Structure 1
Amino acid sequence: MTDTQSLVRAAHHRGVATLTLDSPANRNALSAALVAELRATLEQCGRDGTVRAIVLTHTGTTFCAGADLRDPPDPKALVELLRQLLELRKPVVARVTGHVRAGGLGLLGACDIAAAGAEATFAFTEVRIGVAPAVISLTLRPRTDARALARYYLTGETFGSAEAARIGLLTAAGADVDDVLEPVLDGLRRASPTALAETKHLLTTKVLENFDLDTGELTRLSSRLFASADAREGMTAFLERREPGWVL
């Protein structure tokens, strides 16, 4: 496998393909271009018989800052990316050593295993710019504690990796994420490729059933909110580095 992407770097070692989000100019935000490149690279990994599992990681201090407000992906494109991660016949492991915000948390929810180091932080910041974590709920609501989601969705508070593991957003957290993932990757390398594929299918079947039921409603909600007056004010305030007008 060769590195042909400008925003997603790919490397391959002992059956594990590592895909690194490498868009430092926007803190690895989900731009239309990054989403398209990540989807293409995942498709390549899916066809590569030498790839046993995929690690999704990042450069810099931010895993993913959420949707790129200057070049946002179409909600349907984000839905397709999340579905692709769930349907891929190979395990996808998130490796986080930095901050994760908004739409980036949807990527974690779509991964089969997610681990973070002690320096990682997480926040559902959508309500602070006038929208809601709609599309990413497709992967998060089935896998994350409902009461915790209620708190963090509604407040936009920042929390750490230990709390993220407690509520099911992460599989595991530790001081050094690579120490956490060492036995995970060893286990994946020891597993039969066919068994991995069928076991992943077993685990994601119910998630995908709910995904199909909710996609239309949540995509429409996302589009409606992003077109609202509150969203225009919230995104403008964010880009201008000021508080939106509704802050008391």
Structure 2
Amino acid sequence: MFDTHVNLHGEAFAEDLQDVLARARESGVRRFLAICDRFDNFPAVKAIADAELDMWCSVGTHPHHANDFTHITAEQMIAAAESNKVVAIGETGLDFHYGYSPQDQQVSSLLQHISAARALDLPLILHTREADDLMADILEEEFTKGAFRPLLHCYTGGAGLAKRALSLGAYFSVSGILSFKSAKEVRAVISDVPIEKIILETDCPYLAPVPMRGRRNEPSFLQYVAEALAALKNMPVDEVKEITEANALALFSKTGVL
């Protein structure tokens, strides 16, 4: 398995990161993608990835923090991505649920990330919450300027955004949310997404899957995400693992340069 979204640079894993990674490897996780949430955290994220042969990272700024990084340009992200360890741009996106950053700043940041992802031909990791229509509109408009590779991570959006993103060739990642009893709408949408366009993630330390809810999430719990997807798709879990790993390797193709 490839855990395509891990947040390892914060306090949650400060005391036992190596034990966490060891448990993940024992559970069958072969690769990790460490996510950059703020541009000023990129050195810390990259340092964690640099220390592990089976780990890569992204560069970007979460929409919650767009107001803190209004000066960040596509060119700065392109320069940061020169390292072979940087295999994706983001996470970026739109989140109008909390409103931590104004909408115009979120959109401006997203557009810079799209420009960087297009220029580098790297996957664009997208976070979307309560912004489905605008996200779809932006993706479609930006595609007219040149193709790029969207990944709608930890997907909880609606069927409309999913359909419009699929028409652009987007991938979708599923997390422990897929196993939540309350996530009927998420399962309904993902049931219609082709398995060839789905990858797995934990989004650790958040969103621990059933039966680990209430605990700190960690990459070793990716097994339960695979099981939830297998149950939804009525497929053997080993087949789901094989397909989603192949999908992730195809999407994050730069991992093959090491």
Q: Report the TM-score, using the length of structure 2 for normalisation.
A: 0.37
Question: Which structure is richer in relative contact order (CA contacts within 8 A, separation 6 or more)?
Answer: 2
Q: Report the TM-score, using the length of structure 1 for normalisation.
A: 0.38
